[in-house]
Amino acid sequence: MNDSAPERRRLAGLLADKGVLTLPWLRAAVESVPREQFLNPGVFLDEGRAWRPITPRGTTREEWLRLAYSAETLTTQLDGHLTADQCGGPVTGVPTSSSTDPTTVAGMIESLDLDAGHRVLEIGTGTGYSTALMCHYLGEDNVTTVEVDPEVAARADAALEAAGFSTWTVTGDGLLGHPRRAPFDRVIATCAVRRIPYAWIRQTKPGGSILATIGSWPYGTGLAKVTVNEDGTAEGRIIGRSSFMQARSQAAAPVAGDLSARTAYADSERQAKVSPLVLDEWMPAFLAQLAAPGAQFVRATTSEGVQLLHLFAPERESFAEFLPGGEGRRVRQGGPVPLWDRVERSVVAWQDAGAPDIGTVRLRVTAASHLYWIDASPALRWEHRLA
């Protein structure tokens, strides 16, 4: 088998040119860890309406390495169980595990500010590639990685062993952390969470930091970095945009069934002050998740081809329905929580403040709540109580 060292060096150069690979130790890790070994038994390529399976045995060595060292996310599992070696041709399904694009992986690891000797807890092992990069620098005994899917965990463990890293691989719910190996200097999550679990804060040393993607939508989510304080709180900010699959125990079930039945009884109807289409933009979508946590933005099309837009919060038995009619839509709301009132108020306040970017969002986490705010306006403040 041909060595992949030239491809590893090429990838490192590409990431350095993008400005996400600046640390010498991390560049050495990228140049040393063979990503292709962490993609077995294969990957799925998105072809629009179907996923095309690619396996090492079903393609040439050159094509396999080209895929492995592309700066792209590669889907490795569909529907919680299906892998590429089980498919004889294109299939449909929902991605449930992947090898995140190396640009994001390198950027997040650099954001951790790791030092030699640090102990790291990784939530979401996935293929194990990012685990290996950290092990290369910190040593295998200083990295603990938790994966909820037993099959994914087993494949990652085998790949790590084959690459020479006998690290601490754990199968379990990463939202609970791993208290047996605590305390940690750093926690990094490769899945999105609705909020930072307090278990992670309890298991992080004072002065240590946690890096995790906040949000429950597939877009409009932010990468939070917080520092743990002596009093058991944590403070920090959103340092940029980020998108990951939702932690499985927090993933919301898709809103299904007859939407007209769900929206039959409205408590109010009025003209919307801003178009719901603003939620197609990243920052307004993030604000919507802060203002109405747990709500889902749902699109539907009638048999006549008319597009319908909704916000649903099943846990709060609430909805907002936007009536067709171009940009100037009317909104019907029902249930105990006026979802669109809350979202609209935040979007308008954000616009009035000059539309600050996602990096201006700050947060403070305690055992009882998450508080988010933007200094530009007192109206841009959201508190999520855990009780």
For residue 170, give both structure tokens.
Answer: 């754990």
Q: How many residues does the chain have?
A: 387
- For the chain, give the mean pLDDT: 94
Could you tell me which residues come within 8 angstroms of residue 79 by beta carbon, excluding any fewer than 6 positions away? 93, 94, 96
Q: Which residues are catalytic?
A: 98
**pLDDT above 70 for 365:** yes
pTM for the predicted model, two decimal places: 0.94
Between CA 146 and CA 169 the distance in angstroms is 6
pLDDT in tens, 213-243: 999 999 999 999 999 999 999 999 999 999 9
Tell me the average pLDDT across 134-163: 97
| Confidence (pLDDT) at 44 | 96
Cβ atoms of 124 and 149 closer than 8 Å:
no
| Confidence (pLDDT) at 355 | 98
Cβ atoms of 215 and 221 closer than 8 Å:
yes
| Confidence (pLDDT) at 8 | 97
Between CA 266 and CA 24 the distance in angstroms is 59
Tell me the average pLDDT across 110-114: 97
Q: How many CA atoms lie within 13 A of 140 on its CB side?
A: 12
pLDDT in tens, 317-358: 999 999 876 556 899 999 999 999 999 999 999 999 999 999
Coil/strand/helix, residue 70:
coil
Strand 95-99 with 168-171, pairing: unpaired
Q: Cα angle vertex 157, ends 155, 158, to 5°?
A: 65
Could you tell me which residues come within 8 angstroms of residue 112 by beta carbon, excluding any fewer than 6 positions away? 120, 186, 188, 209, 211
Between CA 342 and CA 288 the distance in angstroms is 8
Provide the residue type at 65 as one letter: L
Burial class (CB in 10 A: 0-12, 13-18, 19+), 13: middle
| Confidence (pLDDT) at 1 | 43
Between CA 367 and CA 291 the distance in angstroms is 20
